[in-house]
Amino acid sequence: MPDLREQVADNDGPLHVGGLTIHLVPTPGRTGVRVTVERDARIVAKVPPDADRDALAALIRTRLAWLYAKVHPRRAEAAERPRRRFIDGEGFWYLGRSYRLKLTDDLAASFVALKNGRLHLRRDHRDTAAQALVSWYVARGRAWLPNRVHPWAWRMDVPDAGLNVRPLGYRWGSCSHLGAVNIHWAIMQLPARLIDYVLVHELAHLYHPHHTPGFWRTVGRAMTDYECLRLELDEWGAGIWLPEEEGR
């Protein structure tokens, strides 16, 4: 077997093992290693701050078969992610329904508006259409999500945490160490049932920071069909729109 040290860079950057790049995230308080494959096919390993790089490389090598099986479908999804030209007739998802884009010359109208079953975009903002649409999704999320999350927080007996809507790259949501729930604006493209799953998932993290058996029991008590919803969310994830600068 080749010496692992020949396959690991002698710096604090990513590990390169078996043709894969593993981005290391030193995490205070962590004693083990947690490896995940993000939706953009990036491999992220949360590791103890004093972890030995050679030992990490050896551990990653034992998981290569699993990583290859996860990475290749993610790369295919990223390559097929829809690109937008912001022309009449293009479809954009909102709450699980596709709305056709309509360019308008009405300068008195909002930059983006949902009217008469069409998603209206002012033609003079076509050059900045991606930013205008993201702002529209963010505003919709801030108005719609709080009323959606309150019943779940009550059912799960968790504090009514603050909720932020913002770009999160390829993550649907996250929790801050202060207990605030962060939700990706792109969630507003999903059907309501999948939005509920993401909300329940993040609320469960207020009790369980990691995906332990206790975490999944908490999710399951609130949402008995969560496993089906999790699979459906993976399918939807490949088809939602993200601006190119966020989808890289």
The model's pLDDT over 141-173, given as tens digits with 9 standing for 90+, comes to: 999 999 999 999 999 998 766 899 999 887 899
Amino acid 230 reads R
Maximum Cα–Cα distance for the chain, whole Å?
A: 69
The model's pLDDT over 93-150, given as tens digits with 9 standing for 90+, comes to: 999 999 999 999 988 778 999 999 999 999 998 999 999 999 999 999 999 999 999 9
Which one-letter DSSP state was computed for residue 120?
E
Q: How large is the average pLDDT for residues 192-218? A: 92
pLDDT score, position 161: 67
pLDDT score, position 110: 86
> What pTM, to 2 d.p., does this model score?
0.72
* Structure token pair of residue 174: 């996250």
Please write down the HEC assignment for all residues of 38-66: CCCCCEEEEECCCCCHHHHHHHHHHCHHH
CB-based burial of residue 16 (10 Å sphere; 0-12 exposed, 13-18 middle, 19+ buried)? middle
The model's pLDDT over 17-76, given as tens digits with 9 standing for 90+, comes to: 888 889 898 988 888 898 988 777 788 899 999 899 999 999 999 988 888 888 877 766
Contacts of 163 (CB under 8 A, 6+ apart): 145, 146, 149, 180, 181, 182, 183
Q: How large is the average pLDDT for residues 213-222? A: 94
